[in-house]
Amino acid sequence: MPVDVTMPRLSDTMEAGTVVRWHVKEGDEVSSGKVVADIETDKATMEMQVYDDGRIARILVPEGKSVPVGTKIAEIAVQDESAANTSAEPMVPTVLAEPPGAVPPRVAPPGAPGPGPARVAGEAPLSNAESRRKPHEAESLAPQTAAQVGGGMRVSPVARRMAEELSVDLAQVRGSGPAGRIIKRDIEAAAEMRGAQVGGTSHGATTVPTAPGTAPPTPIARVPGAGLASPVVQRAMGASVGQPGIQSVEMALSTMRQTIARRLVESKTTIPHYQVSMTFDMDSIVALRETLNAELVPAGVKLSLNDFIVRACALAMARHPFVNASFADDRILVHQTVNVGVAVALDEEKGGGLLVATIRDADRKSLRQISAETKALSEKARTKGLSIEEMSDSTFTISNLGMFGVEHFTAIINPPNSAILACGAAVQRPVVRNGSLAVGWEMTATLSLDHRVIDGAMAARYLQSLKHLMEHPTLLLV
Amino acid sequence: MSGTSIEAVIPSAEPAAGVREIEFRDALREAMSEEMRRDARVFLIGEEVAQYHGAYKVSRGMVDEFGERRIIDTPISESGFAGMAIGAAMLGLRPIVEFMSWSFSLVAADPILNNAPKMLYMSGGQFGCPIVFRGNDGAGGQLGSTHSWSVEGLYSNVPGVKIVIPSCPYDAKGLLKTAIRDDDPVFFLESERMLAMKGPVPETEYLIPFGQAVVRRAGRDCTIASWGRPVNFCLEAAEALAKDGIDCEVIDLRTIRPLDLETVVRSVRRTNCCVVVDQSWSFGSPGGELAAQVHAACFDDLDNFVHRVHSADVPTPYASELEQEYLPNVRRICEAVRHATYRA
């Protein structure tokens, strides 16, 4: 019985494909897994394998010709059949389609009856060990790209959503799930491999602090013909382009930079931002930190001021749930967990950028836990990049430029959060304490807020609670 | 349905550390006794609840405190005493009906399913039915096919009932008090296998509202949603899976009508993965309903279809090893989670 080889659907949007090159000629022996041709889609050129053992009986589409998905492009004579016995009758346009009564295909096309996981998924319960074994068997098949599964692409819903958000081309991803289903971890791996560990999901956003009075960046002209798609920085050496008298080099946008640009424009243009600032007396917290760190030297723990701020911000949520909320079109979601995002700047030498690491359940973690987690995540962010998980689900964000000596700045809200706290440095200043002049530690922090969720007085009351915690830092220990 | 009057609510899931530990059966008795002291309309009726102090000693000593007018022994006649109690509820009393086993409630199906839940509707609001039916549900341990019912599979199909299935003594007390004060019929499903289970129960009064699930264990990789006795197996399974690096979040729904979908959805949005564990049979079950609702609410968040662990689709076996294998157990829950997370 001959087997048809049809033009596979290698991407979601693919309607036709071009046979760039045949790796086989009529009469060649092939076995399952053999790459027989290179196919160019609307997105890329990919290898096409066959899934049957046999001999290439006929090649129906010459190199360079484009045909619609599903068109028969070759025919394989399987086992003992001779090529002469093959028929050219039209078949169901799927790579693996076989006529009724034939040996069951190794991987069933979607919807076809058979022992594949699609069927299991359609059945009601996996209530006994017998039925649960089925997906297991399917998984023991070699991993394959989704496209290999009979024209349709198998992608779990969350994987499809993440691929869109992270601009991952599904056609380029090998699915590791049953029957080649592309699942969450495949997208994460693809994004990571591409070096695109940007908080591109709707939950794990990135945010850029903006300094007031910052000069607009020098306009960069585009070098004609230079693509923006490549994440590699391209330099137009010595090319004088754009505005007369200004020499610029063109830098391609990294995926992270694209995400930052897209999300922050969206945040700043759709969220009615306003800012509220407050200055905190930091004498107690500086002293407490010194005492604790002296005691914790043997344990190798060194708490940063930021760790105290994270905990204080999280604890203050208990009395101000709307600061820990999201605006969702027709309603407000008041989150029941407090996940504090901490903005982490990446080394400029390595391309810069920033991302937000999520400290989950920060209101339920001790200073030490917060400190250890923040350190570990920052380190990982700078070296290997963070997983989606590690950047997702923040409900409030803190951006701290205190270590650079910045005393005051404002930040852009990190959607879907409703607030972000911009922290300056703790500095020694002349202060009035008990009616007389003294030298004291102070820090100024500025909240940026979404007015659709939080009104000015609510923001002020939150800052009051925060101030109380910061100025009575032993409260942060219990 | 009419509202619930809850004067004191402890919304938090867990009792504070250091409180006394008592048995599940004692938590039930405390709930009933406290409510009977508080409200003279409350009474307990059922087989052997008075002179014998309850077939499972849940009502131990209650007849001594409240007397035979409020702790009432009945003949073996579920249909009769359930119907009588419904009449009492319609006329203003607040009965607690003890079924020795929910398996025996089947002979009272007409009053409890056809009268109680529909009374408010059918009487155009003239008669409510503030009644609690309670007793042992699920396999009690080699009781055979007819006496091992998980009735929630059948009964949750009926609009108008509230169904409470606690997993620990703390919840048993707080939820039973809420059930007794509720103005609607409440089916309160206990487990013979849990009556001797000890757990912290504070002496100060508290109530647990219906429809409020609790996260028993936080985790990132897979949401396991369950209720009643199997929650304890889920927690055990989660510990076993943690050793393999699979971090499960275990949610205890506590009541299946009303059903706190929000808490499950919030979790699944994070884990992208869900396993429902329900000791009733799979076909037309509350577990199937929850899975369907999760699919609808979290379609774009799921990395795999919602997996389910139920009792096997056969009459409950008598042989103890078969019975164990038939029920959702730790091994079967682990298997389901591994498949759901693609780590089988």
> Sign of the C-alpha dihedral, residues A42, A43, A47, A49?
negative
Q: Which residue has the higher pLDDT, B44 or A42?
A: B44
* Neighbour-count burial of B198, counting CB atoms closer than 10 A to its CB (0-12 exposed, 13-18 middle, 19+ buried): middle
pLDDT at site A167: 86
Which residue in the set A128, A136, A160 is minimally distant from B339, CB to CB?
A136
Classified as helix, coil or strand, B292 is helix
Nearest CA in chain B to A184: B303
Written as six digits, the tokens of B60 are: 């131990």
> Sign of the C-alpha dihedral, residues B56, B58, B64, B69?
negative
Q: Is pLDDT above 80 for A241?
A: no
Check: CB of residue A12 under 8 Å from CB of residue A154: no
Strand runs labelled E in A177-324: 209-210, 273-281
Q: Is pLDDT above 60 for A31?
A: yes
CA dihedral B44, B47, B52, B54 (to 10 degrees): -60
Q: Is pLDDT above 50 for A232?
A: no
Which residue in the set A139, A183, A185 is minimally distant from B344, CB to CB?
A139
pLDDT at site A388: 82
Establish if B147 touches chain A: CB-CB under 8 angstroms: no
Closest CA to A251 of A232, A277, A279: A232
pLDDT tens sequence across A439-474: 999 999 999 999 999 999 999 999 999 999 999 999
Other Cβ atoms within 10 Å of A332 Cβ, number: 16
Give the Cα separation of A42 and A172 in Å (integer). 12
Half-sphere exposure of A259 (CA within 13 A, CB side): 29
- Average pLDDT of chain A? 78
Phi, psi of A418 (to 5 degrees): -110, -5
Chain A residues within 8 angstroms (CB to CB) of chain B = 121, 124-129, 132, 135-136, 139, 156-161, 176-178, 183-185, 336, 361, 389, 392-393
Question: Which CATH number applies to A3-85?
Answer: 2.40.50.100
Percent of chain A with pLDDT over 90: 42
Which residue in the set B299, B339, B342 is minimally distant from A132, CB to CB?
B339
Give the Cα separation of B43 and B200 in Å (integer). 26
Q: Is pLDDT above 80 for A74?
A: yes
Other Cβ atoms within 10 Å of A346 Cβ, number: 18
Between strands A419-423 and A436-450, the pairing is antiparallel
Other Cβ atoms within 10 Å of A35 Cβ, number: 13
Q: Which residues contact A129 (CB under 8 A, 6 or more apart)?
A: B332, B335
Written as six digits, the tokens of A220 are: 């960069």
Give the Cα separation of B69 and B65 in Å (integer). 11
- When mean pLDDT is compared across A47-61, A123-137, A307-321, B11-25, the lowest value belongs to A123-137
Give the Cα separation of A116 and A96 in Å (integer). 14
Half-sphere exposure of B195 (CA within 13 A, CB side): 22
Q: What is the mean pLDDT of residues A27-42?
A: 85
Check: CB of residue B308 under 8 Å from CB of residue B153: no
pLDDT at site A174: 87
Inter-chain residue contact B312 with A128, CB threshold 8 Å? yes
Q: Is pLDDT above 70 for A93?
A: no
Inter-chain residue contact B339 with A124, CB threshold 8 Å? no
Classified as helix, coil or strand, A103 is coil
In the 3-class helix/strand/coil scheme, how is A144-173 assigned residue by residue? EEHHHCCCCCCECHHHHHHHHHCCCCHHHC
**Start and end residues for every CATH 3.30.559.10 domain found in chain A:** 271-477
Percent of chain A with pLDDT over 70: 73
Topology, domain A271-477: Chloramphenicol Acetyltransferase (3.30.559)
Residue B181 host element (H or E): helix B169-181
Interface probe with B: pick from A119, A120, A127, most Cβ of B within 10 Å:
A127
Selecting among A320, A335, A451, A468, the annotated active-site residue is A451
Inter-chain residue contact B342 with A177, CB threshold 8 Å? yes
pLDDT at site A254: 78
Inter-chain residue contact B308 with A125, CB threshold 8 Å? yes
Establish if B217 touches chain A: CB-CB under 8 angstroms: no
Closest CA to B278 of B238, B325, B328, B335: B328
Q: Is pLDDT above 90 for A271?
A: yes
Check: CB of residue B288 under 8 Å from CB of residue B282: yes
Give the Cα separation of A388 and A185 in Å (integer). 10
Give the Cα separation of A49 and B19 in Å (integer). 66
Inter-chain residue contact A184 with B282, CB threshold 8 Å? no
Q: Is pLDDT above 80 for A424?
A: yes
How far from each other are the two terminal CA atoms of chain A, in whole angstroms?
76
Q: Report CA-CA distances (Å) from A168 to A188, A204, A384, B127.
A: 9, 16, 19, 61
Other Cβ atoms within 10 Å of A64 Cβ, number: 10
Which residue in the set B270, B305, B335 is minimally distant from A129, CB to CB?
B335
Q: Is pLDDT above 60 for A225?
A: no
Distance from CA of B124 to the nearest CA of A (A): 34
Classified as helix, coil or strand, A384 is coil
pLDDT at site B105: 97
Q: Is pLDDT above 50 for A115?
A: no
Residue A221 identity (one-letter amino acid): A
pLDDT tens sequence across A155-172: 999 999 999 888 888 988
What letter does residue A213 receive in the DSSP assignment?
T
Phi, psi of A21 (to 5 degrees): -155, 135
pLDDT at site B147: 96
Between strands B132-136 and B162-164, the pairing is unpaired
Give the Cα separation of A339 and A317 in Å (integer). 10
Residue B49 identity (one-letter amino acid): V
Other Cβ atoms within 10 Å of B225 Cβ, number: 30
Closest CA to B137 of B91, B195, B73: B195
Assign A243 a pLDDT band (cuts: 50, 70, 90).
Answer: low
Strand runs labelled E in A337-380: 340-345, 354-359
Written as six digits, the tokens of B260 are: 């706190």
Phi, psi of B135 (to 5 degrees): 165, -175
Segment 301-330 of chain B within 8 Å of chain A by CB: 301-305, 307-313
pLDDT at site B48: 97
Give the Cα separation of A15 and A285 in Å (integer). 63
Give the Cα separation of B279 and B286 in Å (integer). 10
Q: Is pLDDT above 80 for A210?
A: no
Q: Is pLDDT above 70 for A43?
A: no
Q: What is the mean pLDDT of residues A350-378?
A: 92
* Neighbour-count burial of A62, counting CB atoms closer than 10 A to its CB (0-12 exposed, 13-18 middle, 19+ buried): exposed
CA dihedral A122, A126, A132, A138 (to 10 degrees): 10
pLDDT at site A415: 92
Other Cβ atoms within 10 Å of A254 Cβ, number: 20
Other Cβ atoms within 10 Å of A431 Cβ, number: 15
pLDDT at site B20: 94
pLDDT at site A148: 46
Q: Which residues of A touch B311 (CB under 8 A)?
A: 127
Q: Which residues contact A257 (CB under 8 A, 6 or more apart)?
A: A353
Q: Which residues of A touch B220 (CB under 8 A)?
A: 389
Q: Is pLDDT above 90 for A296?
A: yes
Closest CA to B279 of B169, B193, B216: B193
Q: Is pLDDT above 90 for A211?
A: no
Between strands B21-23 and A174-175, the pairing is unpaired
In this prediction, the residues of chain B whose per-residue pLDDT falls under 50 are 1-12
Residue A105 identity (one-letter amino acid): P
Q: Which residues of B touch A139 (CB under 8 A)?
A: 342, 344
Give the Cα separation of A121 and A178 in Å (integer). 11
Q: Which residue has the higher pLDDT, A198 or B310?
A: B310
pLDDT at site A73: 92
- When mean pLDDT is compared across A36-40, A234-238, A252-256, the lowest value belongs to A234-238
* Neighbour-count burial of A219, counting CB atoms closer than 10 A to its CB (0-12 exposed, 13-18 middle, 19+ buried): exposed
Give the Cα separation of B225 and B309 in Å (integer). 10
Establish if B288 touches chain A: CB-CB under 8 angstroms: yes
How far from each other are the two terminal CA atoms of chain B, in whole angstroms?
45
pTM of the model: 0.52
Q: Is pLDDT above 50 for A231?
A: no
Nearest CA in chain B to A393: B270
Report, in this order, helix, strand and coil percent for chain B, each rounded to 5.
40, 20, 45
> Sign of the C-alpha dihedral, residues B68, B69, B70, B76?
positive
**Start and end residues for every CATH 2.40.50.100 domain found in chain A:** 3-85
Q: Which residues of B touch A135 (CB under 8 A)?
A: 339, 344
Find the helix packing angle between A184-193 and A157-165, rounded to 10°.
20
Q: Which residues contact B173 (CB under 8 A, 6 or more apart)?
A: B27, B28, B30, B31, B201, B206
pLDDT at site B246: 97
Which residue in the set B301, B308, B313 is minimally distant from A158, CB to CB?
B301
Inter-chain residue contact A160 with B335, CB threshold 8 Å? no
Interface probe with B: pick from A158, A176, A201, most Cβ of B within 10 Å:
A158
Which residue in the set B303, B332, B339 is minimally distant from A156, CB to CB?
B303
Which residue in the set A127, A129, A157 is minimally distant from B301, CB to CB?
A157
Closest CA to B160 of B187, B190, B133: B187
Establish if B75 touches chain A: CB-CB under 8 angstroms: no
Distance from CA of A170 to the nearest CA of B (A): 15
Nearest CA in chain A to B273: A158
Check: CB of residue B121 under 8 Å from CB of residue B160: yes
Classified as helix, coil or strand, B105 is helix
Check: CB of residue A417 under 8 Å from CB of residue A207: no
Written as six digits, the tokens of B147 are: 């006496």
Q: Which residues of B touch A324 (CB under 8 A)?
A: none
Give the Cα separation of B228 and A305 in Å (integer). 45
